[in-house]
Amino acid sequence: MSSEATEERVLEAIAARRELVNDALDDDVPMGSPERLYEATRYLLKAGGKRLRPTVSLLTAEALADVEPLSADYRAFPALDGTEIDVMSAATSIEVIQSFTLIHDDIMDDDDLRRGVPAVHKEYDTETAILAGDTLYAKAFELLSETGADPANGLEAVRRLATTCTQICEGQALDIEFERRTEVLPEEYLEMIELKTAVLYGTATATAATLMGADDDVVEALYRYGIDSGRAFQIQDDVLDLTVSSEQLGKQRGSDLVENKETLITLHARQQGVDVDGLVETDDVDDVSEAEIEAAVERLEAAGSIEYAEQKAEELTARAKEHLDVLPDNEARDLLADIADYLITRGY
Amino acid sequence: MSSEATEERVLEAIAARRELVNDALDDDVPMGSPERLYEATRYLLKAGGKRLRPTVSLLTAEALADVEPLSADYRAFPALDGTEIDVMSAATSIEVIQSFTLIHDDIMDDDDLRRGVPAVHKEYDTETAILAGDTLYAKAFELLSETGADPANGLEAVRRLATTCTQICEGQALDIEFERRTEVLPEEYLEMIELKTAVLYGTATATAATLMGADDDVVEALYRYGIDSGRAFQIQDDVLDLTVSSEQLGKQRGSDLVENKETLITLHARQQGVDVDGLVETDDVDDVSEAEIEAAVERLEAAGSIEYAEQKAEELTARAKEHLDVLPDNEARDLLADIADYLITRGY
């Protein structure tokens, strides 16, 4: 991304769609009975979120339709065959899946907080949280089956979403397995984040493209855009944890190191012979000192590990943007490219 | 059911399809990586089960196609429009959903055993069990999206399965809520078992009919067949718990009473003024005496509660069989009727 003006434009594009997605989620995941179940189902969705995945879904549709961004009704959007489809439902279905995975992940990891509020299993209970996740899971497939798109495309979108959900489960299972293992290779880590995080980005773009009626090679290229920028996004998250102040992060800088969470950075450092486990002695984020974190970051910098991760994220982003060549040259395509840049230049 | 010969014919029909379904499940839910996740995913499926739901799916297809039972390849089955569809995948997708719900239910209820083996969260751990359920959930939608049926029918089947999964979650949430409530009405109980159990029977028949290309009114009637016989099945389960010996049941007779589980029988008895909570003082199935159970059953019989449940199950079964009138008059249809009877005449 070249300038602050571009970053501002990206943030505006995301914010405008976030508002529309939030309204749509309120309609697409309505209250129901039993009340407690449905309250839990809506709880995390209402707690906020950047809505990046639905945003790239919507932008993909706009780029393919070659329309002025935000000019067409997402609920009656012009598909390539001239019919109208509900591309917003496709976008919300992705966010609904994301929400289900976060609820179940928080149970598995016994995390207390999510998006600044208690995790669903803490605010309600584990039984309700399991069921809330399961309810959202079904809701996503329901939404995706009712977009009004050509049925063959609708069914293909369902098939991809199902495969993606399987991969997310595999990624989470690997993540749990890695915590119990003594050695994890950087390539294994990259595979894990591809499964756990990036495939849903890929599916966000591919699903919109499939429902729009795009050709298979276009769908595949847009899928790769999502995968590559999604991986870059996750790596950047790991970089930010070390390079941004606690104040900006909204949580303790270096918390990944304190909690012994492996990242591409620590895995690279291990390969360089750094005693990663000894970098931070404190194992409670409330007790760690800024000086201890600073010393650890200096060691990782000296080993070239932070730079290694940053380079990896940049490479992936460059590749992601190349895949956008399949799209018509228009503002929505430019925004998708700028979003990919933003994901690795953002400060928090 | 009129005779032992009919019962034998039903059991043979179920057994023949169970074997085919078991082979198909082995193919449709294959091993994958990470190994531990996929082992957990297959664990409960391999532990057995009657496979009643896939059996009614397959018989529905056979009745509609008007073919000799077991004469056509379920993987290349003649749909009503002359094309071939994989009706076995539709059948296994239903069993896969059933398996996912059992795994998650067992976590929520903290049950130790299922189908005679440790529950998945006991054999593995809760994290793996949540993920195994989530993986099966995705697998079911994947299977249903790849039957080769007309895409509009495929998408409609997906939509129904998604709605059904939502209802199963609602039913389980109600079940949990009822345990915490002081009063539950029999109608509320009936609604709960419809959601928690019967809708998946309805979906087993309706999905097969939809994929075969049956008219909407035929699909709807077959859905009602499944719902009504599924509800009768659940009520009969509650009757059997009281009327069959521990030896035949494979578990303590009257265990529902010992564990204070509400059923249509206890709810009816309460309305008749019976002190249901005082029927069995012992609250451990290992400590209860046969005499205590026998006395409780006599009280419930005197209140007409067991007869009430039996009559309800018979009414539902009669109604279920009427719905089969939409099918051609053939052997598969007769078997579906006989299965409905079997569900409430079976001794265990």
Q: How confident is the prediction for chain A on average, in pLDDT?
A: 94
Q: pLDDT tens digit string along B129-158?
A: 999 999 999 999 999 999 999 999 999 999
Check if the beta carbon of residue A234 is closer than 8 Å to that of residue A198: yes
Instruction: List chain B residues with CB under 8 Å of A159.
Output: 141-142, 145-146
Q: pLDDT tens digit string along A256-306?
A: 899 888 899 999 999 999 999 999 988 888 889 999 999 999 999 999 999
CATH superfamily of A4-345: Farnesyl Diphosphate Synthase (1.10.600.10)
Q: pLDDT tens digit string along A109-134?
A: 888 888 888 999 999 999 999 999 99
* Residue contact B166–A139, C-beta within 8 A: yes
Q: Which residue from B minimizes the CA distance to A147?
A: B155
Q: What is the C-alpha separation between A185 and B160, in angstroms, rounded?
A: 43
Q: What is the C-alpha separation between B318 and B322, in angstroms, rounded?
A: 6
Q: What residue ranges do the domains of chain B occupy? A: 4-38+53-111+134-345
3-state helix, strand, coil in chain A (%, to 5): 75, 0, 25
Q: Of B182 and A207, which is predicted with more confidence?
A: A207
Handedness of CA B153, A212, A48, A230 (dihedral sign): positive
Q: What is the C-alpha separation between A76 and A88, in angstroms, rounded?
A: 9
Residue B216 phi, psi dihedral angles, 5° rounding: -55, -40
Please give the radius of gyration of chain A, using alpha carbons only, rounded to the nearest integer: 20
- Residues from B in contact with A at Cβ < 8 Å: 32-34, 36-37, 104, 107-108, 126-128, 130-131, 133-135, 137-139, 141-142, 145-146, 150-152, 154-156, 158-159, 161-166, 169-170, 172-174, 176-177
Is pLDDT at B311 greater than 90 in this prediction?
Answer: yes
Check if the beta carbon of residue A120 is closer than 8 Å to that of residue A105: no
pLDDT of residue B40: 97
CA distances to A149, A158, B250 from A211, rounded to whole Å, are 6, 10, 51
Write the DSSP assignment of A59-98 as a string of letters: HHHHHHHT--TT-S-GGGEE-TTS-EE-HHHHHHHHHHHH
pLDDT of residue B2: 57
Q: Of B97 and B256, which is predicted with more confidence?
A: B97
Is pLDDT at B110 greater than 60 in this prediction?
Answer: yes
Instruction: List chain B residues with CB under 8 Å of A172.
Output: 131
pLDDT > 90: percent of chain A? 85
Q: How confident is the prediction for chain B on average, in pLDDT?
A: 94
Location of structure tokens 């997906």: B158
pLDDT of residue A2: 57
Q: pLDDT tens digit string along B7-65?
A: 999 999 999 999 999 999 999 999 999 999 999 999 999 998 999 999 999 999 999 99
Q: Of A280 and B348, which is predicted with more confidence?
A: A280
Average pLDDT over residues A91-108: 97
pLDDT of residue B4: 83
Name the nearest CA neighbour of B168 among B96, B95, B256, B98.
Answer: B98
Of B134, B145, B152, the CB nearest to A169: B134
Structure tokens at A328: 């018509």
Residue from A155, A167, A172 whose CB has the most chain B CBs within 10 Å, to mutate: A155
CA distance B32 to chain A (A): 9
Q: What is the C-alpha separation between A109 and A132, in angstroms, rounded?
A: 17
CA distances to A113, A115, A172, A179, B35 from A109, rounded to whole Å, are 11, 15, 10, 11, 20
H helix or E strand, kind and range, residue B114: strand B113-114
Name the nearest CA neighbour of B159 among A114, A157, A277, A179.
Answer: A157
CATH code for residues B4-38+53-111+134-345: 1.10.600.10
Name the nearest CA neighbour of A146 among A137, A157, A162, A135.
Answer: A157
- The most confident of the ranges A128-132, B183-187, B284-288 is A128-132
Name the nearest CA neighbour of A127 among B119, B175, B37.
Answer: B175
Is pLDDT at B348 greater than 80 in this prediction?
Answer: no
Name the nearest CA neighbour of B334 among B6, B57, B3, B4.
Answer: B6
3-state helix, strand, coil in chain B (%, to 5): 75, 0, 25
Instruction: List chain B residues with CB under 8 Å of A192.
Output: none
